[in-house]
Every structure is written in structure tokens, then in C-alpha cells.
Amino acid sequence: MAVMGTRPADVPDEAICIPPGATQTDTILSIQRSISKQNYNSVSWYAQGLYAWAYNAQVNNSLGIPVPPLPARPQIAKLVLEYASATGVPVKPGQAIGEDAYCWAWQTAEYLSLDQVKEAKARLETA
């Protein structure tokens, strides 16, 4: 049975523990690639929804029909990493490199900012 590090107090229950070793960086990069693909798909689908909304808004305006609200903003996932010693004492990322630090990883999400939405909408209107 593998020995796991002690979870630091501020690490949520859903976090996974990535033990120290040669594959720690590869594991983190693999998780980040997966999250990046997820975010790319979310933003792409949202852009398609905005494009369809803009087209339908023009049609609705020409027919005098109310324009529905913008599509819901997607959530963008972020990977959070916290390094800690085996006893759960937090370690700065720069100190964790080449050391025996455990990496605790979890995902959070936040919505696209309104500025990002306005920027995307402006691009659609000038296209």
C-alpha cells in the first residue's frame, strides 16, 4: 500500500494527492491538458451560441419579435495545486521542485467575465 501525504488543512476533500516522484510533473501536465481541452470546448460552444444568437437577434428585430437574452456564460475550469510535505506542511512551489513534496490538485470553476463576453460579442458584430 502506498504511503500518502497528510492533507493540508486548506485543501478541499475533492483534491487528489499526487505523490512525489518522476511522474508527478507528467501527471499534473496531463490533468492540465484535459482541463484546457474542456475549456476550449466550453468557449467554442459558447462562441457558436453567440453567433446563432446574433443571427437570430437580427431576424427577430426585423420581424418585431423580442430578442431573447444572451446565452448563459460558460464556466472556465482552473487547476489549483498546493504542494506540501508528507506531514501536511505547505511548501512553496519553487521549493517543491526536486524535493519530496506531495502535490494536492483540485479543480475550481468560474464564469467568463462580462468583459470577455463583451469582447466576444464585439468580434461577432464586426465580423
Q: Which residues contact 11 (CB under 8 A, 6 or more apart)?
A: 82, 84, 104, 106
User: What does the pLDDT read at residue 1?
Assistant: 39
Report the C-alpha gap between 115 and 111 in whole angstroms.
11
Along the 127 residues of the chain, how does pLDDT read in single tens digits?
Answer: 355 778 999 999 999 999 888 788 899 999 999 999 998 898 889 989 989 999 999 999 999 999 999 888 899 999 999 999 888 888 887 777 666 789 999 999 998 777 877 776 677 667 6
Which residue matches cell numbers 490533468?
A: 31
Q: Taking the model in full, what pTM does it have?
A: 0.74
Instruction: Answer for the pair 63, 73: CB distance below 8 angstroms, yes or no.
Output: no
* pLDDT score for 22: 79
Integer CA distances (angstroms), 125 to 61, 62, 73, 100, 122, in order: 15, 16, 18, 52, 5
What is residue 57's predicted lDDT score, i.e. its pLDDT? 94
Cβ(69)–Cβ(79) below 8 Å? no
Torsion of CA 78, 81, 82, 86, to 10 degrees: 140
Instruction: Please state the domain extents for the chain.
Output: 16-126
